Amino acid sequence: MGSVLREYWMPLMLSSELPAPDSEPKRIRLLDEDLIAFRNTDGDVGLVANACPHRGASMFFGRNEENGLRCVYHGWKFDIEGTCTDMPNEPAESNFKHKIHLQTYACRERNGVVWAYLGTRTELPELPALEWNMVPENQRFISMRIQECNWAQAFEGGIDSSHSGFLHSPVSSHRAKTEKDYDKDPNLQAGRRGSSKGMIYKARDKHPVFEVVDTPYGELIGARRNAEEDSYYWRITQFLMPFYSMIPSYGEDPVMGGHAWVPLDDYTTLTWSVDWHPLRALTSDELAKYHDYPRGAGIHPGTAKGLLSATSKPYGAWWPKDNASNDYGLDYELQKNTLFCGVPNLGLQDSAMQESMGPIFDRSKEHLGSSDMGIIRARRRLLGAARALQDSGTPPAGVDAPDAYRVRAAGVVLPRTAVWAEAAEEYVTAHREKHYASA
């Protein structure tokens, strides 16, 4: 699977994590490789191997200056192409430096996100046109968290629509019985994403029926619930190759949400959580909520308040302070009265489930139901891509179709007779100028 992932550009980090030319290098781990990211004097990002090719000392301690990273052991200096531009401990006339190369990977920046390509192509593919990275930075908010489990366990949670009515639900949603109850329930009135009929439909019908449609970039996953007598409420989730999701929102002027799950290695994943509005800047209220911890807003871990400072680890800024060691802040009073799961933070509710499966879950022990259809299809897509790449060198879906990523999730009410994927097409397209309400 690593070979498949390498064919794609991967989101590496936020530009703001390398705040200025010659600022401090950062430890990265990606697809089992230890790397160092830094911004050079010209402002470009370099991504280099952690180990100096001389004797293996870590480039993390390197001096980031004068358009290069200089190992502090013997002063060997490398530019962002990996060329050894100075080898001061060897005689001046030596051309040993020409034989030395520090492994690097290509980086690109776009709208405040740094992307990395670890693949084999010399002519690089285009960046995927994911809407959250096509809009200006003030229209989107991104935070990350480390999950100490395999990336598959993590992304599967993200495209599994049926769990949110349980894991992320308020206790009251399981008690409300009549329409009147739903109307009276404050949790359902002022949902985190605005009040909407969709939230009521979702609370009332906990048995979504799933249908999945293949797309050029991944899978369109429709979760169908009863709405009115003659309509269905479709919550349409996007799975985009190789590890992205978009999750449907609620309300009149919905902020969109989604994730990426980037593997550091087989047991550690960096989960990106993104909120964005296609047309406008996020408001200060919206932004304030993302920083609130532990209840936060939606999918973010509350940024600094919820994070350790662990710079000696890869992606050291993004390790949650509530984790397996304290059961993610599990609170039984909260579980009894307020939140179905009892873990205060929504993102950590996912971490609790996914990490408690173990570092890599033995899939022979699972029993998937009809609500797991999205997961089954996404796995099939990934495994198929791996096989095709291995057997015939076929590039995985989406690598060469960057614009296919111009999609959104959607929550729509459709007539019961509609062919949902067609009827919803307008809503799941990421129009440059149009943005629809969600149900």
Residues that bind its own copies (CB under 8 A): 24, 50-51, 53-58, 60-61, 63, 72-75, 87-92, 94, 96, 99-100, 153, 156, 162-163, 165-167, 206-209, 311-312, 324-327, 330, 332, 335, 340-343, 349, 352-354, 356-358, 361-362, 365-372
Which residues are CB-neighbours of 88 under 8 A, at least 6 positions away?
74, 75, 76, 77
Q: Are 139 and 62 in contact (CB under 8 A)?
A: no
Q: Evaluate whether 404 touches 398 at the Cβ level (below 8 Å).
A: yes
Least Å from the CB of residue 128 to its own copies? 28
Q: Decide whether 8 or 182 has the Cβ nearer to its own copies.
A: 182
- CB-wise, 139 or 169, nearer to its own copies? 169
At its nearest, how many Å lie between its own copies and the CB of residue 92? 6
Token pair in block for residue 249: 């929102």
Nearer to its own copies, 325 or 392 (CB): 325
To the nearest whole angstrom, how small is the minimum distance from the Cβ of residue 325 to its own copies?
5
Mark out the alpha helices in 230-337 (DSSP H runs): 284-291, 332-337
- Which pair of structure tokens corresponds to residue 84? 């050894």
Token readout for 260 is 């990426």
Please, are residues 320 and 310 in contact by the beta-carbon 8 Å criterion? no
In the complex, minimum distance from the CB of residue 208 to its own copies, in angstroms, rounded to a whole number: 7
Question: What is the smallest separation between the CB atom of 61 and its own copies, expressed in angstroms?
Answer: 6
CB of 335 or CB of 429, closer to its own copies: 335
* 407: Cβ contacts below 8 Å, ≥ 6 apart: 131, 215, 217, 238, 240, 246, 428, 429, 430
Q: Where do the DSSP E strands lie in 195-329?
A: 209-214, 218-226, 231-240, 244-247, 256-265, 268-276
Residue whose CB is less far from its own copies, 174 or 432: 174
Q: How far is the CB of 194 from its own copies (least distance, A)?
A: 24
Rounded to the nearest 5°, which phi and psi values hold at 415? -60, 145
Give whichever of 217 and 243 is closer to its own copies, judged by the CB atom: 243
Closest to its own copies by CB, 266 or 286: 266
The nearest distance, CB 310 to its own copies, in angstroms, is 9
Alpha carbon separation from 122 to 2, 125, 219, 386 (Å, rounded): 18, 9, 29, 20
Closer residue to its own copies (CB): 131 or 219: 219
Provide the sign of the torsion angle of the four alpha carbons 259, 264, 269, 271, taken in this order: negative
* Least distance CB 190 / its own copies (angstroms): 23
The sheet carrying 45-49 orders its strands as 9-14, 113-117, 104-110, 45-49, 33-39, 26-30
CA 228 to chain centre: 34
By beta-carbon proximity to its own copies, the closer residue of 334 and 404 is 334
Rounded CA-CA distance 394/4 in Å is: 10
CB of 384 to its own copies, least distance (A): 21
